[in-house]
Amino acid sequence: MAEFRTTVLLGMLAALMVVAAPVAAQDPPAPVEAAVYLSLFDDADLRGIEKPDDEIYDLFVAITGDATLDARIRLAAEARGYVRRPVATAGLVGVDGRRLQAPAAEAWTAMKAAAAVDGISLMLTSAYRDLADQRAVFRSRLGGGTTDAAIDRALRTSAPPGYSKHHSGYAVDIGEVGASDAGFVNTRAYRWLSEFDFARARLFGFIPSYPVGGERMGPDPEAWEFVWVGPGRIGCATGAAPVAGFCDVLLEPRAADIEWLADIGVTVGCAPGRFCPDDPVTRGEAASALWRLHGAPATDGHAPFVDVYDSDHFRAAVDWLWANGVVTGTTGETFSPDDFLTPRDAFAMALRLQAFDDRPPATGLPAPSDGLFDRPAVVAEVGDLGAHIDRAEFASVLRAAASPGGS
């Protein structure tokens, strides 16, 4: 997977460089404004995170344990521009000995591999931090101080618990072997990331957390901190050319598969003008897509699932797929349409549909098993998806399954 992305993305980077390189000295590309970068993360609506009410933070997220001192710290923090941040509620995975949200972890691994190709050793110096981790960091910076000066000194380098972007699992602190945070702006790693207005970082969905020109952002600017928002959101915010009518697909490595789906009329976006390539796929959505891929046939079958209702847009899809052995329930009585699709189920569904298409009429469907169909070929074409599958990856699975052996 990392290798697949790296190859595709390096190709895209080459294309982007051509665009980014000014053709005439008086005609440089317009840099992305700090406010755009900041709102890209603040308004991203990323999955797996939730922002508790301010009252909850005030009541339950102690900083020093001294309520009066904590209130002063919060006031001083908010005066510097710190805001209460959402915390991860789901989706964290392990990467390089730390934890990140799954799409950020995947992007980090791919970006690190791309940097390595250029001889740059990126390293993850911090990633997800929970409230307790952040409390420990902040208190060590405060060092027992209680004066306004001591509070401000700590706030210059550390968020109080509840105010850190690291709580989300989408923020990374990046280092280069042998360099300190303070010296990071002078490293080859920083140059690699920031060149061409952060073109390389942006290809992988990362943007600077403290962009140049940003004001009142909380701490003193930290060049080493990046946040992942996904290439799609960056594309929509920076005027990327639409692909198949979607502004968030251009830099997506699986853009061709999404375009293919849109061309045959199977997919609709997640919102007007957006495909949301990084969003998870629900089992209900997957059923609907598979059924439409097959021409949305009618059926007399009626799947026995108590959690699929007549009013669901995927009702007819589940009925037909179930009647033809393409989908099974999560139990005998449930389909769990709102659960996220797993890569395993995605491959299984797609391959059973393929087998259904290939069987001689009226012979019944063989029991699905990995060895029976051309699974290795499909997996090879799509890439190893790991533990999670998103909407873009599902487009690749559908395309590979619809045209085994090449597309």
Rounded distance, CA 279 to CA 270, Å?
Answer: 9
Report whether 41 contacts 227 (CB < 8 A).
Answer: yes
Beta-bridge mates of residue 94: 99
Query: For residues 103-142, which are near Zn ion according to CB under 5 A?
Result: none
Give the C-alpha separation, 32 to 308, whole Å.
45
Binding marks (x or -) toward Zn ion, 160..179, rule CB under 5 A?
Answer: -------------x------
Q: How many CB atoms lie within 10 A of CB 12?
A: 18
Cβ 206 to Zn ion, closest distance in Å?
A: 13
- Residue 338 neighbours by CB under 8 Å, 6+ apart: 282, 283, 284
Min CB(134)–Zn ion separation in Å:
10
Name the segment binding Zn ion (CB under 5 A); options: 200-208, 225-233, 314-322, 335-343.
Answer: 225-233
Q: What is the DSSP letter of 33?
A: P
Q: What angle do CA 367, 370, 376 make, to 5 degrees?
A: 145
- Which of the 8 DSSP states describes residue 333? S
Closest CA to 288 of 320, 334, 241, 256: 320
- Determine the residue type at 236: C
Interaction between residue 225 and Zn ion (CB under 5 A) = yes
CB 77 within 8 A of CB 163: yes
- Burial of residue 78 (CB within 10 Å: 0-12, 13-18, 19+) is middle
The closest of 370, 380, 305, 293 to 336, measured between CA atoms, is 305
In the complex, minimum distance from the CB of residue 37 to Zn ion, in angstroms, rounded to a whole number: 15
- Closer CB to Zn ion, residue 87 or residue 355? 87
Quickly tell me which residue has 């990633």 as its tokens. Answer: 127
Considering the complex, state which of residue 124 and residue 303 has its C-beta at the smaller distance from Zn ion.
124
* CB of 49 vs Zn ion, minimal distance in Å: 16
Shortest reach from residue 172's CB to Zn ion, in Å: 8
CB of 126 to Zn ion, least distance (A): 5
Q: Does the footprint of Zn ion cover residue 393 (CB under 5 A)?
A: no
Cβ 164 to Zn ion, closest distance in Å? 7
Of the two residues 76 and 217, which places its CB atom closer to Zn ion in the complex? Answer: 217
Q: Which is nearer to Zn ion, 210 or 320 (CB)?
A: 210
Site size with Zn ion, rule: CB under 5 A: 2
In angstroms, the CA 318 to CA 326 distance is 9
**Closer Cβ to Zn ion, 46 or 243, answer by number:** 46
* Nearer of residues 225 and 285 to Zn ion, judged by Cβ: 225
Q: Does residue 226 belong to the site contacting Zn ion (CB under 5 A)?
A: no
225 vs 257, beta carbon nearer Zn ion: 225
Q: How far is the CB of 173 from Zn ion (least distance, A)?
A: 4
In degrees and rounded to multiples of 5, residue 302 shows phi and psi of: -140, 105
Q: Residue 173 or 390: which CB sits closer to Zn ion?
A: 173
> In this structure, what token pair is assigned to residue 152?
């401000």
Smallest CA-to-CA distance from 407 within 254, 300, 298 is with 254
Shortest CB 158 distance to Zn ion, Å = 9
Q: Which one, 225 or 393, has the nearer CB to Zn ion?
A: 225
Q: Using the minimum distance from each CB to Zn ion, give the nearer residue, 224 or 246.
A: 224
The pair phi, psi for residue 120, each rounded to 5°, is -110, 130
Shortest distance, position 234 Cβ to Zn ion, whole Å? 20
CA distance 236 to 239: 6
List residues binding Zn ion (CB under 5 A): 173, 225
